[in-house]
């Protein structure tokens, strides 16, 4: 859908902060499936955590991203996704070795411009829900760049500036 905008990129690069700022401006935002899954799993049996069973985690992320898209299908203005289906499919492909990005990503499209947060060590933080090292975040970032490129998206790397400047940057690129 042309009004669905993916905000992807390096883990810990400021995606959620950007989405919070977009929400304060009145835009529809969809939280990251991964963080929601981790929170649910940590309150339950904890099986589908990325550091325990990456494939189960990625399969849940794909299902959640598809449900998120369906829930937002009637939106008529911009909808910003903190990660989304392509990210989940890339994680599943990495975990399983099975090609999933092209199949899912070709059928379920986002706006032609996808915004990626670059690796930003100065703001990267590990926490209970983000337990992987910065080096793992870099490897994931490279996989995401490749996945979005394979699907023909125009990937726009967000500048390392404050959040309000990032919001302006995104909105200007969407209307250009």
DSSP bridge partners of 117: 9
The pLDDT of residue 36 is above 90: no
Structure tokens at 155: 């990937």
pLDDT one-digit tens code per residue, 86-143: 999 999 999 999 888 888 888 899 999 999 998 766 655 655 555 567 677 788 889 9
Quote the pLDDT of residue 170. 97
Q: What range defines the domain where residue 115 resides? A: 4-175
The owner of tokens 């794909």 is 62
Pairing of strands 154-157, 113-117: parallel
User: Mean per-residue pLDDT for 5-32?
Assistant: 91
Q: Is 73 helix (H, G, I), strand (E, B) or coil?
A: coil
Q: Is 128 helix (H, G, I), strand (E, B) or coil?
A: coil
Average pLDDT, rounded, for the chain: 87
Query: d(Cα 155, Cα 144) in Å, to the nearest integer?
Result: 10
CB 103 within 8 A of CB 88: no
Residues in the chain: 176
Question: Who wins on pLDDT, 41 or 92?
Answer: 92
Pairing of strands 113-117, 79-82: unpaired
Quote the pLDDT of residue 67. 96
pTM of the model: 0.89
Which of the four pLDDT bands, split at 50, 70 and 90, describes residue 16? confident
Backbone phi, psi, residue 108, to 5° = -110, 95
DSSP characters over 75-127: --S-EEEES-HHHHHHHHHHHH-S--HHHHHHHS---SEEEEEPP-TTT----
Query: d(Cα 51, Cα 71) in Å, to the nearest integer?
Result: 29
User: Mean per-residue pLDDT for 70-74?
Assistant: 95
Poorest-confidence range of 26-30, 36-40, 51-55, 121-125?
121-125
Which CATH number fits the domain that encloses residue 105? 3.40.50.300
| Total tally of structural domains belonging to the chain | 1
């Amino acid at each position: 859908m042309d009004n669905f905008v993916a905000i992807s990129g390096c883990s810990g690069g400021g995606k959620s902060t950007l989405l919070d700022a977009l929400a304060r401006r009145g835009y529809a935002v969809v939280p990251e499936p991964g963080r929601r899954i981790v929170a649910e799993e940590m309150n339950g049996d904890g099986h589908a955590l990325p550091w325990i069973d990456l494939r189960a985690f990625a399969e849940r992320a794909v299902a959640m991203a598809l449900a998120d898209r369906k829930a937002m299908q009637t939106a008529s203005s911009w909808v910003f996704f903190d990660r989304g289906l392509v990210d989940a499919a890339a994680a599943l492909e990495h975990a399983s070795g099975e090609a999933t990005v092209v199949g899912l990503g070709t059928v379920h499209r986002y706006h032609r411009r996808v915004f990626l947060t670059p690796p930003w060590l100065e703001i990267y933080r590990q926490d209970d829900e983000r337990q992987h090292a910065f080096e793992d975040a870099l490897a994931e970032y490279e996989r995401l760049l490749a996945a979005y490129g394979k699907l023909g998206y125009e990937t726009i790397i967000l500048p390392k500036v404050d959040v309000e400047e990032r919001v302006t940057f995104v909105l200007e690129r969407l209307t250009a």
